[in-house]
Amino acid sequence: MLAKTHAVITAVGGYVPEDVLTNADLEKMVDTNDEWIQTRTGITERRILKTPGLATSDMVVPCIKLICEKRGIHPEEIECLIVATVTPDMVFPATANLASYKAGATRAWSFDISAACSGFLYALTVGASLIESGRYKKVIVAGADKMSAIVDYSDRTTCVLFGDGAGAVLLEPSHDGYGILDSILRSDGSGAPYLHMKAGGSLRPASIETVTAKEHFAYQEGPPVFKAAVKGMADVSAELLDRNNLTGEDIAWLVPHQANKRIIDATADRMGLSHDKVMLNIHRYGNTTAATIPLCLWDWRKDLNKGDKIVLAAFGGGFTWGATLVKWAY
């Protein structure tokens, strides 16, 4: 009998824009200071996609190209592209449609997933299921957000947190026990009031009033989100270890969503994981929403070894949260 098909990650691509927005820059824009930002969040700087005419899909395209280069494949060989984002180029068509066209992945069917900061984990599970079904052999899953498009740079409670970026992985089938092994995903719409964008959807379509009231920006009540994130991310990560008979000792890396260093530390502690096994790049990029986890995989691509068991964990708007267990395949 053929062993179970798993989806393995066979290549990673990442992209951040060149323009850097530092804490010192923000000090000139709003009433904040480097010390507050660093101690409360861990962020030092973030990248901003400033070039007019460029959007989220334009950050996905270089990721696709890097992946194709690494695997020595043509973009036309990609069968499906899934993009997790809350900052699509436009309401429709999907950012994935635009990115696959621009990258020359003309045979791929493509769609977006909206799950805020947990978007990459949601998309990874969907992509893995397509591979596990046996119907697809090459699926790209991307997380990408141009948060600067929905951040109010006069609101100090949100503008210091977010940055722009994208990351992606290629999924292919394997039968030797590597790959995406398990996933726990959750959502709870009662969290919506604490983190959302008020207007621009069918509830409050764009109007002079919504623009004047600044309702097209990300709105967050930090403390309740913080509280739910610490519990949610730590709970699912611990549950994932437990049901796979693993302890922190078995885990080579925790790859957490990068919203706040204090949330990440709490999750690592709950998993019994020493902090040197935690991927952390929040100081360089801030919170890039759906891009944080694949951007970590991109930054640590040379440190990952075949057979490493890694846990990806996220919490975000919705609320949405989850954790995924991966056995690194190369």
What's the min distance (Å) between Cβ of 181 and ligand UT7? 25
Which member of 62, 93, 104, 222 binds ligand UT7 (CB under 6 A)? 222
Q: How far apart are CA 241 and CA 214, in angstroms?
A: 42
Distance CA 115, CA 95 (A): 14
**Choice between 66 and 293, CB closer to ligand UT7:** 293
Give yes or no: 97 in active site. no
| Catalytic residue, candidates 23, 97, 281, 287 | 287
Among 10, 23, 41, 57, binds ligand UT7 (CB under 6 A): 41
Catalytic site residue from 257, 260, 281, 296? 257
Which listed range, 120-128, 130-138, 185-193, 221-229, lies at the site for ligand UT7 (CB under 6 A)? 221-229
Q: Is residue 191 near ligand UT7 by the rule CB under 6 A?
A: no
The angle that helices 34-41 and 261-271 make with each other, rounded to 10 degrees, is: 20
The residue nearest ligand UT7 at its CB is 222
Q: Using CB under 6 A, which of 105, 160, 280, 323 touches ligand UT7?
A: 160
What is the rounded CA–CA span in Å between residue 250 and residue 266? 18
Q: Given the rule CB under 6 A, which of 105-113, 141-149, 155-163, 164-172 is the region that contacts ligand UT7?
A: 155-163
Q: Least distance in Å: CB of 14 to ligand UT7?
A: 18
Cβ proximity to ligand UT7: between 35 and 249 the closer is 35
Whether residue 255 contacts residue 297, with contact meaning beta carbons closer than 8 Å, is answered with yes
The long-range contacts involving 18-21, CB below 8 angstroms and separated by at least 24 positions, are 18/47, 19/47, 19/48, 19/49, 19/50, 20/45, 20/46, 20/47, 20/48, 21/45, 21/46, 21/47, 21/48, 21/163
Residue 178 lies near ligand UT7 (rule: CB under 6 A)? no
Based on DSSP, count helices (H) and strands (E) in the chain, helices before strands.
Answer: 11, 13
Active site residue 296: no
> Going by DSSP bridges, is the β-strand pair 179-187/320-327 parallel, antiparallel, or unpaired?
antiparallel
Which residue of 229, 264, 279, 280 would you call a contact of ligand UT7, by CB under 6 A? 229
User: Which of these, 240, 300, 226, lies nearest to 271 by C-alpha position?
Assistant: 240
Binding mask 1-40 for ligand UT7 (x = CB under 6 A): -------------------------------x---x---x
281 is catalytic: no
Considering only the stretches 102-110, 219-227, 240-248, 268-276, report the one whose residues sit in contact with ligand UT7 under the rule CB under 6 A: 219-227
For 107-166, the DSSP string reads: T-EEEEE--GGGHHHHHHHHHHHHHHTTS-S-EEEEEEEEGGGS--TT-HHHHTTB-EEE
Contacts of 81 (CB under 8 A, 6+ apart): 60, 64, 96, 99, 100, 105, 108, 109, 110, 139, 140, 142
> Is the CB of 194 or the CB of 298 nearer to ligand UT7?
194
Site for ligand UT7 in 236-295 (CB under 6 A): 259-260, 263, 287
String of contacts with ligand UT7 for each residue 52-91, x by CB under 6 A: ----------------------------------------
Residue 141: name the closest of 128, 160, 159, 157 by CA: 128
Choose, from 80, 117, 159, 296, the residue flagged as catalytic.
Answer: 117
Residues listed for the chain: 330
Which positions lie near ligand UT7, rule CB under 6 A? 32, 36, 40-41, 117, 156-157, 160, 222-223, 225-226, 229, 259-260, 263, 287, 315-317
Active site residues: 117, 257, 287
